[in-house]
Amino acid sequence: MNQNEENKSNMYNAVEAVFAANASIVAEVPALGEVHTDLQSLIAEIETTDGELMKTTEGKTSAKSKVIKELIASIVPIASAASAYAMRKKLVELRAAVDYSENQLKHLTQIELPIKVKNIKEAAHAVLADLANYGMTQAKFDLVDAKLTALKSAVGKKNTGFTDHVAIRKTLSELFDKVDNLLREEADAIVEVLKETKLSFYNQYFAARVIKDLGGSHTKPEDEGTTPPPTDTPTPPMQ
């Protein structure tokens, strides 16, 4: 959820708590009982959907980060060995191609990293026979290739994950719209009917319908972003 949705979610739960605390009054008005049931169901759906949304974000980020870390770990020994070899043999071009530290690799973008890794690998592989004295083997170069393939796969999964994220995000927004409509078009009207006979309940309900943000400011329940509330918004009387 974004901050606005979290604020709304808190309001929804506050309204549900008022209904639950006044179960006998809600039971006297079957239509209000139906609204309460629908509200509970929608709140549960919002919580479930928000959990799914968080998983799509956390999952794709952690998987990609792990692969990037492994790719860098696989190329650093090769770069170090080739750099040391180039220094001893005074091979200026080779050293320029492979002299890249772990920290420098970590600061490359997702696009830049695989390109730089490939360049280092290819430059070092050209002198693989000489790098045997530095502990380098073909297997180490094969590992870099495997990690490059893994990164490409992780990026592909990220794109798929993005599609899932967009779909779940849309579902969550639609659920909030449903609750807003349920409260505005049905609950508010039904509770208004009870104003004369159930004044305490009326006041509790509309107090709960106020959306509170983290800064402590308040907006009417009908507020959607910066849209001003309609002039006929019911306001609870002074007690």
What is the tens place of the pLDDT at every residue in 125-175? 999 999 999 999 999 999 999 999 988 887 766 555 566 778 888 999 999
In this structure, of 40-54, 66-80, 209-223, the range with the lowest mean pLDDT score is: 209-223
- Asked if 174 and 53 touch (Cβ cutoff 8 Å), the reply is no
> For the chain, which residues make up each domain, given as ranges?
3-219
What is the tens place of the pLDDT at every residue in 199-219? 999 999 999 999 987 554 444
Q: Please tell me whether residue 224 adopts helix, strand or coil conformation.
A: coil
pLDDT for residue 125: 96
Neighbours of 102 (CB within 10 A): 12
> In this structure, what DSSP letter does residue 184 have?
I
Measured between its terminal Cα atoms, the distance across the chain in Å is: 35
